[in-house]
A and B are shown apart, each in its own frame.
Chain A
Amino acid sequence: MLALMDSFQATIDADGRIEPRDAMPEGYRKTLIRQIAQHAHSEIIGMQPEGNWISRTPSLRRKAILMAKVQDEAGHGLYLYAAAETLGVDRAELLDLLHAGKQKYSSIFNYPTLTWADIGAIGWLVDGAAIVNQVPLCRCSYGPYARAMVRVCKEESFHQRQGFEILHTLCNGTEAQKAMAQDALDRWWWPSLMMFGPPDASSTHSEQSMAWGIKRHSNDELRQRFVDMTVPQADVLGIRVPDDGLRYDEETGHYSFTQPDFTELYEVVKGNGPCNEQRLAHRVKAHEDGAWVREAAAAYAGKQAQKKASAA
């Protein structure tokens, strides 16, 4: 066993990939299950705030794009749950943990989508932040997760562009449309910054995850990267990032910015956000309403198998 663990550490040290059948420390396995499940849950809960606008898109072209996007998220959920299953859990088990409130999803989805511009802001900011978080995961030490992320990131980059394009159209439209875009940025900016998690000094899982090659950059590094990427895009749009402390630092080549109010993040994580109850209740209802369908499918498959067996 010791030798097996040596080979685990050697693989990590050589920046290689751990595969499902390789020996791995129990903590590594648990950390990955927690993280991949949380990621999968985020994909499927994230379908709700955007699904909220499918019936009301202002054009048919936007409807097609939004439906495809939300469908992509269901697909991401599927292959992330499959990646988690390689670690010896199953999807039904993970869904039960989500529904019981025992596993988390990204807190960003506990904010409401109030106007059409929010669909633009989610694509631009939320998917933009997700890309910054996820691109390094394509090099994660666990093979199945890393490979899933390669595909997810490709689609996320399309999602981000379509979000930017929605806002670009609004910002070049009527006064009311431009105001809608600014309002969306005002509401989504701070929660987007919180997507990178607590500041490095108070991040509980970070250090071990870095040592295991699951995490490659610190929360604060990624947050900085996001701000540096996003602020020039806001300038192109002609809308204002709602931070009086924002300025470009010639010396460092980075923007300095005001940190979000992390007490809000901790509250939303605890369950005290505007849509926590609503999102979970919707998910649980879809699951419970569908129980008889899943049972029927299993019963039918059983009958078919029996027929086949008695015919043989």
Chain B
Amino acid sequence: MNDLFTYTLRLGDDALIAAQRTAEWIAAAPQLEEDVALGNIGLDQLGQARSLLQYAGQLEGAGRSEDDLAYFRDEREFTNVQLVELPNGDFAATMARLLYFATYQHLLYEELRGCADETLAGVAGKAVKEVAYHVDHATQWVLRLGDGTEESHRRMQAGLDAMWPYTAELFASDDLVRRLDVAVDPSTLEEEWLRRVTQVIEESTCSMPTSSYQHSGGRQGRHSEHLGYLLAELQHIARSHPGAQW
């Protein structure tokens, strides 16, 4: 088993599925500036996904391209966390997820850019700057919505609560990340992540979510029911024309 391949694929799948969801906002955002901003964020996530999936294909050595990995794997072969595959919900839920996810990615890429694998370090070095902007964008919106109107406060709280049960999975450690030298053990990021996220939530006048149940299984290919539909849409044209170039 090629550990580095599996690890790179996890990071790539997170970014790819996140991009697919973010892109759903384009032409449906609350204002034109936000169509542009979410377009930027989605493009960053997609760019990270492509670099990571390309590299995963090389590491595997079986001749699979980024598109083979994105379009010709089934649900159980995807190793993203469930957080990124959840439907967007309203704008507050989307911003809650972006805050959780981008803050995690930022901490992760900061570590990873110093790792011994030159390619991963390079991808992380570029991505860390992009993700810093995502964190900032999400933070600004969580503050505005949390401390805006009564309705926006209620929605922001609901969004933070709805996404919270999918956050523990971000930090789940396993044998692979412990034995692979270049990998960042995500459990080491949790404390700082919690500190940063708590600070934003408190400043927004919302309360820390209290849910105790936490979902898990994405890294082992066990997903929510939502992923199947997302992949059906993502993959169907490519699969309807096997072998075609686009």
Contact = CB atoms under 8 A, between A and B. Distances in A.
Interface in B212-246: 233-234, 236-238, 241, 243-246
A56 B236 contact: yes
A297 B145 CA distance: 7
Interface string B164-203: 0000000000000000000000000000000000000000
Given A60-B70, A286-B28, A47 B50 contact: no
A299 B151 CA distance: 11
Nearest to B53: A60
Interface stretch (B33-41, B74-82, B113-121, B126-134): B33-41
B29 A67 contact: no
Given A57-B237, A296-B149, A300-B147, A64 B47 contact: yes
B123 interface: no
Contacts of B149: 292, 295-296, 299
B13 interface: no
A169 B23 CA distance: 24
A55 B24 contact: yes
A75 B36 contact: yes
A301 to B, nearest CB: 8
Interface residues of B, number: 50
Contacts of A285: 28
Contacts of A71: 26, 35-36, 39-40, 43
Contacts of A75: 36
A247 interface: no
A44 interface: yes
Contact of A303 (B31, B147, B243): B147
A35 to B, nearest CB: 19
B5 interface: no
Interface in B1-51: 16, 19-20, 23-24, 26-36, 39-40, 42-43, 46-47, 49-50
Contacts of B27: 44, 47-48, 51, 70, 74, 282, 286
Contact of B20 (A48, A55, A303): A55
Given A55-B20, A55-B233, A286 B29 contact: yes
Nearest to B67: A59
Interface stretch (A134-142, A171-179, A187-195, A205-213): A171-179
Contact of A300 (B31, B90, B143): B143
A183 B39 CA distance: 30
B207 to A, nearest CB: 18
Nearest to B47: A64
Contact of B26 (A58, A70, A293): A70
A116 interface: yes
B146 to A, nearest CB: 9
A289 B43 contact: no
Given A286-B29, A290-B29, A292-B152, 20 more contacts: A47-B26, A47-B27, A51-B27, A54-B24, A55-B20, A56-B234, A59-B238, A60-B50, A63-B23, A64-B47, A68-B43, A71-B39, A74-B26, A74-B32, A74-B36, A170-B246, A174-B244, A176-B244, A294-B31, A300-B143
**CB-based closest 4 A-B pairs:** A290-B30, A296-B148, A296-B152, A71-B39
Interface of A: 44, 47-48, 51, 54-64, 67-68, 70-71, 74-75, 77-78, 81, 91, 116, 166, 169-170, 173-174, 176-177, 282, 285-286, 289-297, 299-301, 303
